Amino acid sequence: MPQTVTASLIKIITVLHEPDGYIDLILYNPSIAKNAGPGQFVMMKAAPVNDPILPRPFDIVDTFPREGTFRLLIKINGRGTALMNSLKPGDDVFITGPLGKPITDFSFSSCAVLFRGCGAAAVLMFIREAKKRGITVYGIASAASSDKLVCKSEISALCDEYLVATDDGSLGLQALGTEVLKNIVEGEGVDRIYSCGGGPFYLPYLMEVQDRLPVYLFLESYMGCGVGHCHGCAVPKKSRPGDPVQYTLVCQEGPLYKLDEVEDPCQIYQ
C-alpha cells in the first residue's frame, strides 16, 4: 500500500475548548497537512501512559498545507479523551496518520450530507472537496440541541444549503435529520446521500431510500492500531445467504462504505 504515513510526536499549536465538551486542536506536521485527504483520520495518544493504553482515532477535520498544520476536533466522552482535556499549545502528542482510504469518487453532481454531533468533523473535508468540484451540496446538521452543533460556521459557509434539525427544536426543525433529508430527496432531489453519525435513528430511512439512490456511510469501529496490524476494527461485509461471512477493516478500506456493502449496519453503525 504506497501511502506516506507519519508516526511521530507532533506539536500542538492551538487549543480551543469549544463548543462545550469538545477540544478543537491545530497541530503542526507538514506531511500530514499535505497528504491527508477527505475521509482520513489519525490515531492520537496524548500522553505516554499505559492506562489508557491505546491511541484513539480522530477524523482530520481540515488541513492547511501552506501553514503545515491540520485540525482535529475531539469529543470528550471517555477516559482517553478526558486525558486530552489538559492539552495545551506546545505539548507533543503521538500521532500516526493520515490513515484510512481518502475519498476520491466525486463523479456525481449533487449530494445530501447528513451528520449528527461530531460526525460534522468527518464530513467537512469531504464537503470542501465536493464544492471545489462544483458539486451541489445540501448539508443537514442534526444534534440534540443547537449548542451541540459543531463546525457550524465552516460547513454552512461551504454548503449550497445548510439545514438544521434539533431534537429539542432549539434551532431549525424539531425533527430527526432524516426528515429533513427526506424533504430534499423528494423535493429538489440529489444523486447521492452521505451520512455520518446518528446510526440507530437514521438507518430506517437510509435503508428504505437506498433502493432509489446510492447511500454512503462514514463508519466507526473500535480500533486498536488504526493501521491494519491488529484487525480489531473488522465489520462484516454483505454476503448472500449461505455464503461464508467476510470482514472489511474500517481502518484500511473505510471509513466510507456504500450502505449495501456492509452487513447489519444497525449493530455496528453507532
Partner 1 sequence: MPDLSVTFAGITFKNPVVPASGTWEPLDAPDTGLAMSELGAVVNKTIFKEPRAGNPPPRIWETASGMLNAIGIPSAGADDFIKKKLPKIRKHADKVIVSIAGYTADEFAWLAKKIEQTGMADMIELNLSCPNIESHTSWSTDPALLAQAIVAVKKAVKLPVIAKLSPNVTDIAEMCLVSESSGADALTLVNTFRGMAIDIKVKKPALGNIFGGLSGPAIKPLALYAVYTAYERVKIPIIGMGGIASWQDALEFILAGATLVGIGMYTFVNPLCMRHVISGLSNYCSEQNIEKLSDCIGKAHPAT
Q: Where do contacts with partner 1 occur on this chain (CB under 8 A)? A: 1-7, 45, 50-55, 94, 96, 99, 221-225, 227-236, 244-247, 252, 268
Cell digits for 81?
Answer: 479523551
Least distance (Å) between residue 15 CB and partner 1: 23
Cell digits for 143?
Answer: 444534534
Pick the closer one to partner 1 by CB: 242 or 244: 244
Least distance (Å) between residue 121 CB and partner 1: 22
Cell digits for 231?
Answer: 484487525
Cβ count within 10 A of residue 152: 17
Please enumerate in sequence order all residues whose Cβ is within 8 A of that of 153, keeping only pairs 6 or more positions apart, or say none.
none
Least distance (Å) between residue 80 CB and partner 1: 8
Least distance (Å) between residue 14 CB and partner 1: 25
Least distance (Å) between residue 223 CB and partner 1: 8
> Using an 8 Å Cβ cutoff, are 167 and 174 in contact?
yes
Beta strands 41-45 and 56-64 are: antiparallel
Between CA 1 and CA 50 the distance in angstroms is: 30
Element (H, E) at 160: none
- DSSP state for residue 85 in the 8-state scheme: G
Pick the closer one to partner 1 by CB: 52 or 68: 52
Pick the closer one to partner 1 by CB: 58 or 205: 58
Pick the closer one to partner 1 by CB: 157 or 245: 245
Least distance (Å) between residue 7 CB and partner 1: 4
Cβ count within 10 A of residue 25: 25
> Using an 8 Å Cβ cutoff, are 13 and 64 in contact?
no
Q: Describe the crossing of helices 199-209 and 177-186 by its angle, rounded to 10 degrees.
A: 20
Secondary structure E strands in 155-191: 161-166, 173-174
Q: Is 60 helix (H, G, I), strand (E, B) or coil?
A: strand
Least distance (Å) between residue 95 CB and partner 1: 11
Pick the closer one to partner 1 by CB: 7 or 266: 7
Pick the closer one to partner 1 by CB: 135 or 249: 249
Pick the closer one to partner 1 by CB: 53 or 157: 53
Count of all residues that appear for the chain in the document: 270
